[in-house]
Amino acid sequence: MKAIKDKIVMSDAYYFVQSYLMTTHLEPVIKRNLVQYDEKGHQMYKMIWMDYELFQELFREGMEYMLSKSQDLTLENIDKYNLK
């Protein structure tokens, strides 16, 4: 289990949202103006800052995003992604 601001959520869901944020280079939290900057000007966001409502939104968005990246399985894909 992992903690967000006001709830404890299953680790698998937590890491899925974290993966979504990393894959999209924090775009979902940037567009919500939730990113902060450190003293060197680097973007940062900590999941402990999000509430459960935002967590649910990002989980749903992440599912849609990940599913939209799916591809049909072809012989070329098998070679490209080494899925033999």
| In the chain, where the domains are located | 2-80
* pLDDT, tens only, 45-75: 888 899 999 999 999 999 999 999 988 888 7
Q: What is the pLDDT of residue 59?
A: 98
d(CA 50, CA 13): 14
pLDDT band at 84 (very low <50, low <70, confident <90, very high): low
CA-closest candidate to residue 58, choices 47, 71, 69: 47
> Which residues fall within 8 angstroms of residue 47, CB to CB, at 6 or more apart?
2, 4, 14, 17, 18, 21, 55
pLDDT of amino acid 74: 82
Q: What angle do CA 70, 45, 66 make, to 5 degrees?
A: 5
pTM score of the predicted model: 0.82
Q: Summarize pLDDT for 6-33 with one digit per residue, the tens.
A: 999 999 999 999 999 999 999 999 999 9
